[in-house]
Amino acid sequence: MDNSTAEPQSFTNHTASDDTTIETLKPLVFHSWYTGVLVSALVILAAGAPGNLITTLAYFKYKQLHSPTNILICSQSIGDLFTCLTGPFFIIFNYSEVGQELASSHKYLCLVSLALVNTAVQSSITNIVALSTERFIAVYFSLHYYNWVTETNVKRAVVVIWTVVICMNGIPVFAWNTWTPGLTCQSVNVYPQIFFQGYFIIPSLICMLICAVENSFIALMAVRKQRSIAAAVVVQNGDQQTEDANIRSGNQFKVTKMLLLVSGCFYAAWLPWIALNSLFFSLPSSWKKHGVPKGVLVAFEYSKVMLVSNTIVNPFIYGWKNLLFRDAYYKLLGIKQNSSEPSF
């Protein structure tokens, strides 16, 4: 969540070719506008937890939700819930005076909190890529979909995703870190630059690029599919097998539209943070000399708030676009549902 510190001096003195200048980074500084970041982020994280908890419980409780696609949705919800539960530690340790003092004087408190929040964030990225890949196979390799995308294969993929993400982000806790007392508990201060860029930033950007390419092709095919469905309404076919195939194809198309919406919301939440991080990787010469403008720093810190806002929207999309999830939500919440309500 933090490719950079809030201080311009950090960008000026900590270069890509020098991992030993950590002592030149500016010590703890608390800005008045940190309180706004603190309150906004904590409110959003608290609001995102119930929806993702209900989505996770719904999958495990109701067998009708057990499908390869929903395994990935459940994994994504667990990642978002993990973000909601671990994010407050990162926020408090960096945007409150008491938290800064605590994290800057207790090494493993800082390291563990960073490992947890980075694991949560990176899991969200990789799960979105997994969902996009599953839809890409469904759209472009439909004849092989039910052979390739089985519950067993998807569960194996989820286990691999979480194992890799947890292991990678756990490395600095035990060995590879540059934690120094008196510095803010952010990755640029605590992790070697080669680690954070090579094991977190660059892989995350590659995953998001893959996701963008896949979703672009999926969206293109979705438009074509929409047109073919409209044409099929005009031409009636009495063959039962053909009709069943069309129904199954239509259901897959509905799922594809839902997950395209999920991916779109994901990118809307992440793009400001990605853009500002990219800017910080190639600072203008005037910024290197005089420091990053305050407005840019404020925008960067609030982009993290927008990033975590993505944890709120997914359960609403599932409840809006998927009848099975909507039924499960109603049952878990004890809400009576209108039986004539359409699925999409």
Split the chain (344 residues) into runs of 10 and give each run's mean pLDDT: 41 36 52 91 95 96 93 95 94 92 92 94 92 91 92 96 94 90 87 84 86 89 67 50 51 78 88 80 74 86 90 90 90 78 46
172, part of any domain: yes
339, part of any domain: no
46, part of any domain: yes
Encode pLDDT of 201-220 as tens digits. 888 888 888 998 998 888 88
Q: Are 34 and 92 in contact (CB under 8 A)?
A: no
Give pLDDT, residue 228: 62
342, part of any domain: no
Closest CA to 51 of 304, 266, 326: 326
What's this model's pTM, rounded to 2 decimal places? 0.81
Give pLDDT, residue 96: 92
Q: Which residues contact 115 (CB under 8 A, 6 or more apart)?
A: 169, 170, 172, 173
Give pLDDT, residue 229: 55
Q: Are 232 and 246 in contact (CB under 8 A)?
A: yes
C-alpha 178/C-alpha 188 separation (Å) is 9
Give pLDDT, residue 90: 92
2, part of any domain: no
Distances (CA, A) of 93 to 64, 90, 227, 285, 313: 42, 5, 52, 31, 26
Q: How many domains does the chain have?
A: 1
Residue showing tokens 């407050």 = 88
143, part of any domain: yes
Q: Which residues contact 205 (CB under 8 A, 6 or more apart)?
A: 274
Domain extent, residue 68, equals 8-333
313, part of any domain: yes
Give pLDDT, residue 342: 46
Specify the CATH number for the domain of residue 74.
1.20.1070.10
Q: How many CB atoms are closer than 10 A to CB 13?
A: 16
Encoded tokens for 244: 């069943």
344, part of any domain: no
